[in-house]
């Protein structure tokens, strides 16, 4: 079940490279270069140094004593990716890919972003490595994540607000791909999640696998359960991949929005169907004609109708269990963690916390759960404030 | 023999280049689509390419994106598309090509979708996100049903890859003229003309080569015709006419524009 380099770019039947012909030479060049540096000692050394000195690795594993006591079940540990430079796991991948781009002699970097975390992490990596960054962001997302737009601009990146389609992450990816088709020679497309045509899902997983590798080292014994949130699925695959061949129960949490029985969610693994989008075959949210559905999530970072092909594979192999939690449950979890531990999680990460709370109650006190806290929640406080103002029920909790 | 092949054979004997005209089905309505098709036929278009909208058209520029979104907002479904095709078939025997994205076919399975398309009267398929590496099942299904698979090549497609693509192509080969999306106006680059020469050489006269993306004026058409293209493909320019013309005049304006372009291919 553990696939090193996917044959023909496929994890089982999932993945591949469904791309316009103009991108074929670029994808081939990327694959060749990536496979070459993948085992290059100097590249590893340079990236390792940056991850330590610049990004702040390794991140701690924190035993959430108060949260555990409040819930009263299994011990909950948090993998603190929120403490990384930039406030999220995204920097693990952007440093790796920006370094690769530099080695390939590319000077112009483009990227998409949902909540803005990948855009910020790209802008940071590019500033530090002397590269020019342009970021595509859905217009709706630029409104709900204004602060991140300004952060990117401060860091020297140019931000393009995308007004086509649903004006969110999927449209930002469409527009980045159109830019890449137009400027294929000069430009490196720095994709932020474990999605897209091969070799992106492989590359992003490799760069994020540092999360799971550290978890394995830091925990005295293999945890009984490991949980991470899944949008495109980069922090999740980074957490899961090194643990696939252990006996840990692995759970990925999708954005259930207003409920997976409504149309307002972003949970393709829970309620989607196989299809082709953004260069990959995977589970997608789509209507019966194959049009991609508009998604909903309280967290912009999970608001995506597809999912990385390796997750689709791990679901079908029954190695990873994928569940969804609702916006309401996410807000509850956000408030509980904030109050008990003094840690404000990103709304994306709060999805994983919500599920940990659910299952820890049913587990023994001697058992352990590791939750990847993929990012910090400063960017989300306005959304939470607005949500609480509208939902009196939750407001009583503070 | 497929309608497309037959058409190219006819044109060859007349020493004419094919004019292939694209419009988006359901934009701005089913009725106007039919009016535009009539205009294209009147104007002398040789092959009609009908777009079926996809929610995420990554190979398309702003004009066709707009038409896709409008068509979807108008409620265009696969059923409506096949209805339009059947109506055209009642009036004309012109070769009809469907351009859409892979997921639309994948959703129903290649075999099922292609057989429905064939039944409705479609002769060939263009899928801009169908890479040759992923096309085995698709080509197999199309062969079985007798549907032409029109693949795209780009100015940066390497020689060996070009050969591989030509092997899987039937009907005609679609050469993308520019690095970019559909409908972006630009001058004709030297790299495009070089690529056309190389592509024609690789095709060895076995498969016609059509040039599209950014082809919008009589001058463009003339240039590609004199450079040896077997077909020129005009898309976004038609959409722009439809966008800017009162609905009762769409048919005549499209016919006039098409006639002017077609004259340059003779």
State how far the alpha carbon of A253 is from the alpha carbons of A80, A107, A181, A236, in Å. Answer: 17, 36, 33, 9
Cα distance between the two ends of chain A: 44
Give per-residue pLDDT as tens, A56-99: 999 999 999 999 999 999 999 999 999 999 999 999 999 999 99
- A242/chain B closest Cα distance in angstroms: 29
The secondary structure of A26-85 as a DSSP string is HHHHHHHHHHHHTT-HHHHHHHHHHIIIII-PSPPEEE-HHHHHHHTSSEEEEEEGGGST
Asked whether the predicted pLDDT for residue A398 surpasses 70, the reply is: no
State how far the Cα of A113 lies from the Cα of A149, in Å rounded to an integer.
10
Asked whether the predicted pLDDT for residue A282 surpasses 90, the reply is: yes
Closest CA to B135 of A8, A274, A308, A182: A8
Asked whether the predicted pLDDT for residue A395 surpasses 70, the reply is: no
Q: Are A151 and A120 in contact (CB under 8 A)?
A: yes
Asked whether the predicted pLDDT for residue A105 surpasses 70, the reply is: yes
- A276/chain B closest Cα distance in angstroms: 5
- Per CB-CB distance under 8 Å, the chain A contacts of B103 are 275-277, 284, 286, 290, 292
Give the three-class secondary structure for A170. helix
CB atoms within 10 A of CB B164: 15
Closest CA to B144 of B188, B110, B94, B176: B110
Q: Which residue has the higher pLDDT, B190 or A398?
A: B190
Residue B157 at interface with chain A, using a CB cutoff of 8 Å: yes
Q: Find, in chain B, the residue whose alpha carbon is nearest to that of A275.
A: B103
Of A75, A79, A90, A102, the catalytic one is A90
- What is the ipTM score, two decimals? 0.97
Specify the pLDDT at position A393.
Answer: 65
State how far the Cα of B55 lies from the Cα of B100, in Å rounded to an integer.
10
Report the C-alpha dihedral over residues A236, A226, A380, A260, rounded to 10 degrees.
Answer: 80
Specify the pLDDT at position A115.
Answer: 87
Burial tier of A183 (Cβ tally within 10 Å: 0-12, 13-18, 19+): middle
CB atoms within 10 A of CB B89: 14
Residue B233 bridge partners (DSSP)? B20
Cβ-Cβ pairs closer than 8 A, A with B, add up to 108
pLDDT in single tens digits along all 266 residues of chain B: 899 999 999 999 999 999 999 999 999 999 999 999 999 999 999 999 999 999 999 999 999 999 999 999 999 999 999 999 999 999 999 999 999 999 999 999 999 999 999 999 999 999 999 999 999 999 999 999 999 999 999 999 999 999 999 999 999 999 999 999 999 877 899 999 999 999 999 999 999 999 999 999 999 999 999 999 999 999 999 999 999 999 999 999 999 999 999 999 99
Closest CA to B126 of B60, B186, B223, B202: B60
* Facing B107 at nearest CB: one of A16, A183, A275: A275
Which DSSP symbol is given to A244? T
Work out the mean pLDDT of chain A and round it to a whole number.
96
Reported as a pLDDT band with limits 50, 70 and 90, residue A316 is very high
Cα distance between the two ends of chain B: 24
Specify the pLDDT at position A391.
Answer: 82
Residues 126-145 of B with CB under 8 A from A: 128-131, 133-134
Specify the pLDDT at position B72.
Answer: 97
Write the CB contacts of B127 (distance below 8 Å, at least 6 apart in sequence): B99, B100, B101, B102, B105, B138
Reported as a pLDDT band with limits 50, 70 and 90, residue A397 is low
Residue A55 tokens, joined: 């990004």
Specify the pLDDT at position A87.
Answer: 96
Burial tier of A246 (Cβ tally within 10 Å: 0-12, 13-18, 19+): middle
Q: What proportion of chain A, given as a percentage, has pLDDT over 70?
A: 98
Give per-residue pLDDT as tens, A336-393: 999 999 999 999 999 999 999 999 999 999 999 999 999 999 999 999 999 999 886 6
pTM of the complete model: 0.97
- Does B70 qualify as catalytic in the annotation? no
Sort residue A86 into left (φ over 0), alpha (ψ -120 to 50) or beta: left
State how far the Cα of B13 lies from the Cα of B142, in Å rounded to an integer.
28
- Per CB-CB distance under 8 Å, the chain B contacts of A278 are 56, 58
State how far the alpha carbon of A98 is from the alpha carbons of A170, A212, A296, in Å. Answer: 22, 22, 31
Helix (H) or strand (E) holding A151: helix A146-154
State how far the Cα of B120 lies from the Cα of B262, in Å rounded to an integer.
27
Helix (H) or strand (E) holding B233: strand B231-234
Residue B102 at interface with chain A, using a CB cutoff of 8 Å: yes
- Per CB-CB distance under 8 Å, the chain A contacts of B157 are 21, 24-25
Give per-residue pLDDT as tens, A254-278: 999 999 999 999 999 999 999 999 9
Reported as a pLDDT band with limits 50, 70 and 90, residue A152 is very high
Of A31, A112, A329, A348, the catalytic one is A112
Residue A291 at interface with chain B, using a CB cutoff of 8 Å: yes
- Per CB-CB distance under 8 Å, the chain A contacts of B152 are 20-21
Mean pLDDT, residues A41-61 taken together: 98
Specify the pLDDT at position A144.
Answer: 85
Give per-residue pLDDT as tens, A321-338: 999 999 999 999 999 999
B131:A171 CB<8 A: no
Reported as a pLDDT band with limits 50, 70 and 90, residue A396 is low
B108:A290 CB<8 A: yes
A286:B103 CB<8 A: yes
Asked whether the predicted pLDDT for residue A394 surpasses 70, the reply is: no
A21:B154 CB<8 A: yes
Residue A160 at interface with chain B, using a CB cutoff of 8 Å: no
State how far the Cα of B141 lies from the Cα of B109, in Å rounded to an integer.
9
Residue A292 at interface with chain B, using a CB cutoff of 8 Å: yes
State how far the Cα of B189 lies from the Cα of B175, in Å rounded to an integer.
14
Residue with tokens 């192509």: B169
Cα B127 → chain centroid: 10
Angle between helical axes of B110-120 and B136-145 (0-180°, round to 10): 40
B107:A165 CB<8 A: no
């Amino acid at each position: 079940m553990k696939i090193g380099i996917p044959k023909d770019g496929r994890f089982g039947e999932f993945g591949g490279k469904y791309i316009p012909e103009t991108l074929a030479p670029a994808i081939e060049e990327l694959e060749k270069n990536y496979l070459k540096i993948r085992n290059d000692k100097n590249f590893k050394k340079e990236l390792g140094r940056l991850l330590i000195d610049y990004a702040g690795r390794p991140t701690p594993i924190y035993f959430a004593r108060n949260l555990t006591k409040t819930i009263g079940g299994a011990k909950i540990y948090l993998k603190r990716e929120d403490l990384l430079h930039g406030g999220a796991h995204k920097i693990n991948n952007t440093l790796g890919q920006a370094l690769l781009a530099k080695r390939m002699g590319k000077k112009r970097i483009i990227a998409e972003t949902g909540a803005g975390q990948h855009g910020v992490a790209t802008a940071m990596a590019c500033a530090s490595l002397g590269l020019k960054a342009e970021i595509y962001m859905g217009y709706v997302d630029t409104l709900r994540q204004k602060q991140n737009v300004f952060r990117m601009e401060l860091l020297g990146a140019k931000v393009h607000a995308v007004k086509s389609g649903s004006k969110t992450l999927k449209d930002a990816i469409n527009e980045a791909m159109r830019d890449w088709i137009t400027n294929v020679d000069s430009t490196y497309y720095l994709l932020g999640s474990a999605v897209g045509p091969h070799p992106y899902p492989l590359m992003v997983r490799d760069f994020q696998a540092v999360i799971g590798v550290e978890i394995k080292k830091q925990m005295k014994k293999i945890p009984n359960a490991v949980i991470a949130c899944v949008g495109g699925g980069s922090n999740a695959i980074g957490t899961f991949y090194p643990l696939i061949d252990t006996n840990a129960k692995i759970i990925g949490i999708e954005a259930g929005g207003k409920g997976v029985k409504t149309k307002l969610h972003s949970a393709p693994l829970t309620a989607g169907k196989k299809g082709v989008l953004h260069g990959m075959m995977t589970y997608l949210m789509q209507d019966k004609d194959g049009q991609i559905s508009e998604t909903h999530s309280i967290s912009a970072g999970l608001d995506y109708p597809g999912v990385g092909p390796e997750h689709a594979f791990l679901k079908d192999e029954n190695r990873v269990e994928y569940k969804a939690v609702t916006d309401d449950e996410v807000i509850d979890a956000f408030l509980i963690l904030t109050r008990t531990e003094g840690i404000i999680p990103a709304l994306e990460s709060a999805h994983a916390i919500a599920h940990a709370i659910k299952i820890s109650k049913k587990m023994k006190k001697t058992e352990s759960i590791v939750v990847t806290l993929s990012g910090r929640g400063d960017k989300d406080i306005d959304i939470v404030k607005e949500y609480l103002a509208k939902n009196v029920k939750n407001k009583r909790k503070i | 023999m497929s309608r497309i092949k037959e058409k190219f054979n006819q044109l060859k004997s007349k020493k004419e280049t094919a004019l292939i005209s694209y419009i988006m089905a359901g934009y701005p309505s089913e009725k106007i689509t039919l009016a535009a098709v009539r205009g294209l036929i009147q104007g002398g278009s040789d092959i009609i390419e009908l777009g079926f909208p996809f929610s995420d058209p990554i190979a398309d520029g702003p004009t066709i994106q707009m038409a896709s979104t409008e068509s979807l907002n108008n409620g265009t479904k696969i059923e409506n598309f096949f209805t339009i095709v059947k109506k055209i078939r009642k009036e004309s025997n012109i070769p009809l090509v469907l351009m859409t994205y892979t997921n639309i076919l994948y959703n129903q399975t290649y075999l099922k979708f292609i057989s429905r398309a064939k039944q409705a009267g479609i002769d060939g398929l263009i899928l801009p996100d169908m890479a040759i590496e992923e096309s085995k099942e698709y080509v197999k299904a199309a062969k079985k049903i007798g549907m032409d698979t029109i693949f795209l090549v780009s100015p940066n497609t390497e020689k060996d890859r070009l050969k591989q693509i030509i092997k899987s192509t039937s009907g005609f080969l679609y050469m993308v003229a520019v690095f970019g999306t559909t409908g972006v106006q630009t001058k004709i680059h030297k790299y495009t003309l070089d690529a056309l020469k190389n592509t024609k050489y690789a095709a060895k006269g076995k498969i016609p080569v059509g040039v599209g993306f950014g082809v919008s004026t009589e001058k463009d058409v003339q240039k590609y015709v004199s450079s040896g293209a077997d077909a020129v493909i005009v898309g976004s320019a038609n959409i722009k006419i439809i966008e800017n013309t009162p609905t009762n005049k769409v048919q005549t304006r499209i016919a006039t524009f098409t006639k002017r372009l077609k004259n340059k291919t003779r």
